[in-house]
Chain A
Amino acid sequence: MGIQEQYRNEAAELLSSGAVKLVIGYGEGSTADRRRPVFIRTAEEAGRLVVDANCLANLSSYLVQEGLMSDGKSVAVFLKPDGIRSVNILAAEAQLNPDQVVILGFDIGAGDASPLPGRKASDFTPLIESLKTAGLSPELQHEADRLELMSAAERFDFWKEQFSKCIKCYACRQVCPMCYCRRCIVDVNQPQWVNTSSHTLGNFEWNIVRAYHLAGRCVACGGCDRSCPVNIPLRLINHRMAKEALDAFDHFAGESTDQKPVLATFRQDDPETFIL
C-alpha cells in the first residue's frame, strides 16, 4: 500500500471514529504539479487527499486560525519535519494544545514522499533532534556562503536590491505559522508605528522587523520564500538568524513542545558577547 492510500484510509478512520473533527491535508491543484491545502471533514472526502513529493507547504499555519481549536476537539494535519517543529513552537509559545493535534507525518526524499511513524508531536522528538546537526542542503549552504563572503557593504547592497522588489503584500507573514499575531506590529495604526509605504526604507523596516521576530523561531520550511511573488530569497535572511540562535545559544527551534523560547529566557551561562 502506497503512502497516499495509507493516509487516505487513516484520515477516513480518524474522521469516522470521531477522533478528529477535521483533517488538513493536500489536494490536487490547478496544474499537474501544484498541490493546494484541503480541509476534509467527512470520511467520504478522504479520497481527495494527495501525498507526494509536491506537497511542500507547511500546513501548521492553519492550526492557529482564530477559533479552530477552541472547542477542544482534535485536528489531524499533514506535516513534514519542518511543520512538526512549527507545532512544537506553537505549543511552547502557548498558541495551541499539542494534545489536540494528530500529526500525519511524512518526509520527502529522492522525489518521493514516505510516511513518518508517530502521531503525537512528542513522538517525533528523536527525529527532530537528529536534524539539529544535519546541516543545510548543498544549494542553501552555497547561497549562504556566498553572502558570508561579502563585505558588510556588499551584503547591504544585496539586500537593498532584493528588498527594493518588496511590495508589502505580506504573503511571507500570512503563510508563516510563526506569524500568528492577531494584529501585526505593522498593522498597529493608532499611532502608525511602522510606515506602511513600500519604499526602500519601509521595505527594510518590514523585512528586518520580520527577520528579528523569527530569530530562534524559524524552522526553515521555506513557505515565505516560495510565497514571495517578487522572488526575494527570504530563506537566506531567516537562515542567518537561525544560525545566530544556534551558535550563540545552542538553540534549534522546535525541538520539543516544552522547549523554552530562546529570546524569552535567560540562562546564567548565556554568552554576553554582544555587551560592549
Chain B
Amino acid sequence: MTRILLHSRLDDCLAAWRSAGFTVLAPTRRNELTRFDEVQVASDMELDLVLPERTIKDHFFPQTEPLIRYRIKKQAIDTEEMLPPERKRIFFGVRPCDASGLDIDDSLFGWDYRDDYWFRRRDNSVIVTIACTKADDFCMCTSVQLAPDSTKGSDVMLTTLKDGRGWQVVALTDRGKALVETASSILREEPAEAAAASTVPVKFDLERVTAWLAEPSNFESHFWKEISQRCIGCGSCTFLCPTCHCFDIQDEGDTYSGIRRKNWDSCSFAMFTMHTSGHNPRNTQSTRWRQRIMHKFNYYQGKFGVNSCSGCGRCTRQCPVDMGITETLQEISNLPR
C-alpha cells in the first residue's frame, strides 16, 4: 500500500494547506519567465518543466534584501533589524537538484555565524519535491553524485505514478510528516507503481576532477586560460545557480539615514575582488572562472565535506557563450595524467 496524491485532488490539497496557514509556491510561467511563485490552484502551476529558469534559492536568499534600517543622530546611531516575516511556506514541485542546493547552502549559512535571514525562511518552509521523469541535454545531477530522485534537502518526496494519475507520497522529515498529515483525508492508500526516474548520463569523472583540482601545481595551469577564453564575465551562471551564495553589503540612503542591504554578488565580476587601492588580485577572467570551479569542487568540499554543485546545469543552459561547469569538468576529466 502506498500513499497517493491524485492530480484530480491537487486543488483540494492546496486548499487544505492554505487553510492550515501555508503559502504555496510552485513553478509558474508568468511574464515570460519560469520561476517559483505563489499559486492558488493547480492550474497556476507549470509542473511539466524540466526545471524552472530560476531557482528556489531566490526565496531564501533574495537578490536584494534589507538587513537593517539606520539613523545617525548627534550622539547615537539607531538601528532596527529588518528580519523577514516568519511565513509558513510550501514549495511544491521542487526538483531534486534545487532541493539539494538548499541543503548544500545550509552548511555555509550556518557555519561560523548563523544567518537568521536564511534560516528564518528555511525553518518555516516545507520542500515538496517531485522526482524527475524527464531531463534535458544540460542536466548533470548524476555527475555530482546526485540523482533524478535524490531526496537530499526535501521534506516530502513525490514520485510520478506509472499510470500518470498522480504521485506517490513519501514524507522524509518531521516537517514533511506534519505536512502530509494536514492533507491525510485527501491522500489515498492503495497499491501503485511508480514511473521510472529520468536517465541522466554521467558526463565527467568527479573523482578525477577533484584530484586534479587538489594538485597545487594545476592552480597556475594554462588550462584555465584556454577554457575561459570566451567567458564574457557576466553573472548569469552564478545568479542562476542553486548554490552560489556570495553577497555584498551596501548602504542605501544618505549620510543620516538609510537601509543596509544584502545584495547578490558574483565571483565572475571584476569588482568582486577589487581592492580600495585599485589592485585586483583576480584581474583576469580566467582567474575568476578558476575561482568558481575551485570554490565549488575544492574549497567547499574541504570546509563542509560536500561539493557546491547540485548538477542542475543552469550555468550551461543559460550561458550566453555556451560555457558552464559541465564543459570545464569534462575537459579536466579528459586531461592526460
Identify A196's interface contact among B230, B263, B322, CB under 8 A.
B263
Q: Is B138 an interface residue (CB 8 A)?
A: yes
Q: Which of B270, B320, B327 contacts A30 (CB 8 A)?
A: B327
Question: How far in angstroms is the closest Cβ of chain A from B285?
Answer: 9
Contact of A229 among B53, B266, B316 (CB under 8 A): B53
Residues A165 and B234 in contact, CB atoms below 8 Å apart: no
6 sample A-B contacts, Cβ–Cβ < 8 Å, listed by A number:
A37-B230, A61-B232, A169-B236, A170-B234, A171-B320, A175-B320
Residue from the list A30, A35, A175 in contact with B324, Cβ < 8 A: A30
Apart from the given pairs A61-B232, A187-B270, 13 other A-B contacts in the complex at a CB distance below 8 Å: A30-B316, A36-B323, A38-B230, A57-B320, A57-B321, A169-B235, A169-B239, A174-B233, A175-B234, A175-B321, A195-B252, A197-B261, A231-B53
Q: Does A235 contact B (CB under 8 A)?
A: no
Q: Is A167 an interface residue (CB 8 A)?
A: yes
B33 lies within 8 A of A231 (CB) = yes
Q: What's the minimum C-beta distance from A251 to chain B, rounded to whole angstroms?
A: 27
Whether a CB of chain B sits under 8 angstroms from the CB of A39 is yes
A39 touches B230 (CB 8 A): yes
Distance between B292 CB and nearest chain A CB, rounded to angstroms: 14
Enumerate chain A residues within 8 angstroms of B238, measured Cβ to Cβ: 169
Q: Which residues of A contact B322 (CB under 8 A)?
A: 29-30, 34-36
Contacts of B323 in A (CB 8 A): 36
**B31 near A197 (CB under 8 angstroms)?**
no
User: Cβ of B208 < 8 Å from any Cβ of A?
Assistant: no
Q: Which residues of B sit under 8 angstroms from A31, Cβ to Cβ?
A: 137
Label chain B's interface by main secondary structure.
loop
| A57–B233 CA distance with the chains assembled, in angstroms | 16
Q: Is A161 an interface residue (CB 8 A)?
A: yes
Q: CA–CA, A198 to B240, complex, Å? A: 14
A142 to B155, CA, bound (A): 47
- B321 in contact with A197 (CB, 8 Å): no
| Contact indicator per residue, chain A 24-47, by CB within 8 Å of chain B (1) or not (0) | 000001110011111100000000
The yes or no answer to A189 lying at the interface (CB within 8 A) is yes
A189 to B249, CA, bound (A): 13
Taking a contact as CB atoms under 8 Å apart, the answer to whether A229 and B264 are in contact is no
Among A163-219, those with CB < 8 Å from B are 164-165, 167-171, 173-175, 187, 189-190, 192, 195-199, 202
Q: Residues of B contacting A164 with CB < 8 Å?
A: 31
The answer, yes or no, to whether B116 is at the interface (CB within 8 Å) is no
- Bound complex: CA of A173 vs CA of B234, how far in Å? 8
- Which interface residue of A37, A161, A171 has the most chain B CB atoms within 10 A? A171
Interface residues of B in 304-336 (CB under 8 A from A): 316, 318, 320-324, 326-327
A residues less than 8 Å from B41 (CB atoms):
none
Tell me which of A34, A36, A162, A202 contacts B230 (CB under 8 A): A36
Nearest B residue (CB) for A182: B270
Judge whether B239 and A167 touch: CB under 8 Å: yes
Task: Decide yes or no whether A140 CB sits under 8 A from chain B.
Answer: no
Contact of A97 with B by CB under 8 A: no
Q: How far is the CA of A189 from the CA of B274 in the complex (A)?
A: 10
Interface positions of B from 24 to 65, Cβ below 8 Å from A:
31-33, 53-54, 63-64
